[in-house]
Structure 1
């Protein structure tokens, strides 16, 4: 419980640090709230005076009542205008804070190491940035709107009540802690429940994304019922946690209302005995009862706000936990210029899991323009080596140098600008064909784009599109082969000094692959290239073939020399043809 309270306070402190950026709006909200509340609370005094102006039959002070009526009307108009301005300011403040948090979250995605993103479901991250921030926005807006007004109303009401009758006012104030204790007891236990709701919502979003993203695989393997059962299980958890959180937190309002109702009854009883003594008028008692009710109303409203605010804080905790996650190591200021392509890897060690060794004591020296093929069984570390070259992951020890420059001593963006990468898993953004091809070179001319489109053999289907290069596409509008051709064109346009081709032609038919291979031969001319391939027939012409096994180079040479050794490479190569015998 103590840890939960500390987490709640820490989260609230961080949220308030975002609110503090808008001190002007915060002050304006408080001022308008004070004006609105003071005038609303001044009205019962005016009504009390109107009641006292009715002395008896035939002795009504109409002039006084008319004068007070005008003052009431003016107070109502000004109070209404102040409330309207307060709501506008609170909306502006709330949505500005939410905008800042979302902006910080998206920047955090760019700064987080891939190890974090790989270990957290993308659906959960999306849930934090969208759903949890929306919940925070609702709670923050409600808190700003009702919490400020409620606190001001409590303070001003006490002042007005003291001006009417001090003993009764002191009695009401003395009973106030009872309402606070009841509200705090319930609210302190609802934070954990709402946190469970937020966590389960994140898992639910991740599962939905998983099932929708793999819909074809789900249907192909008849996984529909099992998928629905998994969702039903998570959905059941969501229902249980939500019911517990809502039920428990909903006790706050009726509990405080019960306590406040008792206080109101005592005020009426004490006032009724006080009026005959002359120390309190009938109009004063009416005003006092109104103020007693007004004084207790904010506690009821605040108790409702606390319930919503606990939910908002639980959601904020998840968002801020993401924002506060340790970023990747800072980039040095040194820039790696356009490289010739000389690469030296010296005694490299790396593991995703410290308990599972992967790349161990890996070394490689390659001159500029060398064509390097990386082959080996699944899980041997081929793609991991690519991740280390691009600094998607940092090695545990050892060095990687490009043109004798340690990659850990230069900025990541300048390093990655020297590489062009085509992966087996294609990615296209929602936008035009032109925007997707020119992703790495936004200022490219149409002539440049058409040139690389022709070289990558994607110009034919682009011409067939309704608007050519201006056709807007989504990731699902094209076949896997067409998407891969666009990705190849994207790299060709940038024309980097080093290339990484990770199964770059895996989704292309054999005839087109031969054409693409010819285009790649031109593209790779004079460039240092790393080619990861399972089909060993595609890397026969490589200058160096690195044969990897369990994270280590077990053989190294060209195609002919490795076959002559009749070792592990020869077994891999010959295994591809055994099924055709």
Structure 2
């Protein structure tokens, strides 16, 4: 930026010298002297000025792209370091707009400060040389500049307001469009294409309205500045011709002064353009700076070694844990005490809103406990980094648990160095190897392809978690979208894993956990009861109602009302 400023000042110097050299040419011509020297100097100024301007444009253009890239990298990294809850409270489309559209406005604004300094120096230098030539004409010029400046000062803040409103509208448009496209099957099945498209078109119209308002304000500013200069030129030409006629001003000085007047349009236009770009950039920067409110997880570039692992005792323990998603939100968990054995299958059941997902979020450190503590291998979570905790866990979420890319990319997402044999083994464990082989591109099939069903996507996510499974496997209803035969195979796979490590399952279908080693019943953020299926069916009313609602036969005698 400093080099760009120096180049701009050098370009200004070459430009400021040109009218004076032109006066020299005219004076020399009137004296009948050789014109070679002044013409050579004039040509040199033009060539040098063009070279400096070209260098500055390339330099500032490159700088602008680097600033945009830096802003985008900063935002993207913040997103992926952010706390899950903070991200999920914002529409995805709006978050994307901050990276794509808002940062793009920084391109023009990035060089605006240099442009403002250069334009300011050029304006002052031009006025000084005008004063050298004729003070009366300078007074006329200043009067025009002052009028234009006052009008611009009144109008420029409106550009920032209009630009901010336009960017907000674009963010809302992106958020609504992204959500609707994600649910396109539901939209079409509900015959809501016209209603939904018109709603989003309304967002587009709002964005266009605000953008048109910004364009009108910008056009007004430009028109006033150019009209002011043109009126000034006419007035100066008239006054200058009158003074030249009276012998108070040389013709060569009038020509040089008029050249400075025309040249004055450059700094004024540059000031207007850069102030406009700066206003738009400030509006975008304000929206980008709002992202600083998103809390990020602690991140150590070189995390301390994890506490020593142990082989006895529970792998996870929760002691009096309470949690909420924000300071003004109700508690999602209250006084939870839970022990996860080092081996075995623990199932978490309960009605919606009981706190099952919050429990998983605590274990994965998506949410931090408000009170109480969580221990891993007997050590408090606080003594582990986030990465160290998650390295001990594998997680399969319920809704579309795949990432962009191919099937192979997903399977190797946690362990990029996994061998082909390891990948084939986990595919066989979820009965997906034959299905993958039938696809035209096999394991290189993109998951955006319609050849991959929802159930297959869920099994791919399960296979990814089973690849080199860490100590604890967390499954949020892993069999929600699979057929009965595959569900049985998945259950066999879970039993195999439970024999060597801990498996914790959130179950909305109780048929997937009837053979769990232990079932934990949750209600209203608390643990209501724990035990086997037979024990809970006999002793807990809520568990019995859940079972009966799904019409699952119990091993223990049921009441006559069943």
Q: Decide which of 230, 233, 236 is 2:199's aligned counterpart.
A: 230
State the Cα distance separating 1:116 from its structure 2 match: 1.3
Offset from partner CA, 1:90-140 (integer Å, 9 cap, x none): 111101111111110011112221121111000000001001111221343
Q: Match for 1:207 among 165, 176, 196? A: 176
Contact 1:105–1:323 (CA under 8 A) maintained in structure 2: no
Match 1:242 to one of 205, 208, 211? 211
> Which residue of the other structure, out of 451, 461, 473, is the alignment partner of 1:487?
461
Residue aligning to 2:92 = 122
Deviation sequence 1:61-86 (CA, Å, 0-9, x none): 4x22x332222222222211111111
| Aligned counterpart, 1:78 | 48
Q: TM-score, normalised by structure 2?
A: 0.91
Query: Residue 552 of structure 1 is aligned with which of 487, 511, 526?
Result: 526
Checking the alignment, whether the CA contact within 8 Å between 2:392 and 2:472 is kept in structure 1 is yes
How far apart are the structure 2 equivalents of 1:539 and 1:554?
Answer: 17
The separation in 2 between residues aligned to 1:145 and 1:216, in whole angstroms, is 51
Q: Distance in 1 between matches of 2:309 and 2:52?
A: 61
Residue 60 of structure 1: CA displacement? 4.4
Specify the SS of the correspondent of 2:467: helix
Alpha carbons 1:498, 1:529 under 8 Å: kept:
yes
Q: Is the 8 A contact 2:140 2:235 kept in 1?
A: no
The answer (yes or no) to whether the contact 2:345–2:518 under 8 Å persists in 1 is yes
Q: Cα–Cα, structure 1 residues 400 and 307, in superposed 2: closer, same or farther, change >3 Å?
A: same
Cα deviations across residues 163-198 of structure 1 (Å, max 9, x unaligned)? 433454466446644332221211122212211111
**Deviation string for 1:471-510 (max 9, x for gaps)?**
4443755111211222122111132111101111111111
User: C-alpha offsets along residues 516-550 of structure 1, whole Å, 9 cap, x if unaligned?
Assistant: 21122112213122111122122122222111111
Task: Tell me, yes or no, if structure 1 residue 373 matches structure 2 residue 347.
Answer: yes
User: In the alignment, does 2:70 pair up with 1:100?
Assistant: yes
Which whole-Å CA distance do the structure 2 matches of 1:144 and 1:357 have between them? 49
One of 378, 403, 409 as aligned partner of 1:429? 403
Measure how far apart 1:150 and its partner are: 2.2
Aligned mates of 2:403, 2:37 — CA distance in 1: 69
CA shift, 1:425, in A, is 1.7
Write the distance in 1 (CA, Å) between the matches of 2:444 and 2:205.
46
Change (3 A) 1:78 1:67: same
Could you say what secondary structure the match of 1:98 adopts? Answer: helix
1:193 to 148, 162, 176: 162
After superposition, residues 27-42 of structure 1 pair within 5 angstroms as 27-42=2-17
Structure 1: distance between partners of 2:252 and 2:318: 91
Residue 405 of structure 1: how far off its partner (Å): 1.2
- 505-514 or 168-177, which deviates more: 168-177
Residue 342 (1) aligns with residue 342 (2) = no
**SS of match in other structure, 2:60:** helix
2:152 corresponds to 1:183: yes
Compute the RMSD of aligned alpha carbons: 2.5
**The one of 48, 55, 58 aligned to 2:23:** 48
CA drift of 1:451 comes to: 1.9
Please say if residues 428 and 474 of structure 1, whose CA atoms lie closer than 8 Å, have aligned partners that are also in contact: no
| Cα distance per residue 1:367-418 (max 9 Å; x no partner) | 3214211101112111111111111111221111111111133211100111
User: Retained in 2: the 8 A contact 1:44–1:290?
Assistant: yes
- The separation in 2 between residues aligned to 1:370 and 1:403, in whole angstroms, is 16
**Could you tell me how far 1:269 is from its partner in structure 2?**
4.0
Structure 1 pair 220–110 and aligned structure 2 pair: CA distance change class (3 A): same
CA contact (8 A) 1:52 1:282 kept: no
Contact 2:321 2:372 in 1 (8 A): yes
Q: Is the 8 A contact 2:391 2:470 kept in 1?
A: yes
Aligned 8 A contact 1:250 1:307 in 2: no
How big is the shift at 1:307? 2.4
Q: Distance in 1 between matches of 2:296 and 2:395?
A: 24
Match of 2:374, SS state, is strand
Of residues 495, 500, 508 in structure 2, which corresponds to 1:521?
A: 495
Alpha-carbon distance change, 423 to 324 in structure 1, aligned in 2, over 3 angstroms: closer
Q: Deviations over 1:268-325 (max 9, x none)?
A: 3443344356553101110011102212432133223322332222122111221453
1:16 counterpart residue number? none
TM-score w.r.t. length of structure 1: 0.88
Q: Which residue of 1 aligns with 2:515?
A: 541
Query: Which deviates more from structure 2 when the two are superposed, residues 408-417 or residues 120-129?
Result: 408-417
Provide the rounded CA distance (Å) in 1 between the counterparts of 2:408 and 2:178: 29
Q: Partner of 1:21 in structure 2?
A: none
Distance 1:313 1:339 in 2: 54
C-alpha contact (below 8 Å) 1:362/1:552 kept by paired residues? yes
Query: For 2:15 and 2:450, how far apart are their aligned partners in 1?
Result: 59
**2:365 alignment partner, SS class:** coil
Asked if the contact 2:322–2:335 (Cα under 8 Å) also holds between the matched residues in 1, the reply is yes
Distance 1:384 1:326 in 2: 18
In 2, the alpha carbon distance for the partners of 1:355 and 1:148 equals 49
Q: 1: distance between equivalents of 2:184 and 2:233?
A: 61
Secondary structure of the 2:456 match is helix
What count of residue pairs does the alignment treat as equivalent?
Answer: 549
CA-to-partner distance for each residue in 1:145-171, whole Å, 9 max, x for gaps? 854542342133234324433454466
- Counterpart mapping for 1:146-157 below 5 A: 146-157=115-126
Secondary structure, aligned partner of 2:50: helix
State the SS of the aligned residue for 1:68.
helix
* Distance in 2, Cα, partners of 1:474 & 1:76: 57
> CA, structure 1 residues 131+86, in 2 after alignment: closer, same or farther (shift >3 Å)?
same
Q: What is the rounded CA distance, in whole Å, between the counterparts of 1:339 and 1:171 in structure 2?
A: 87
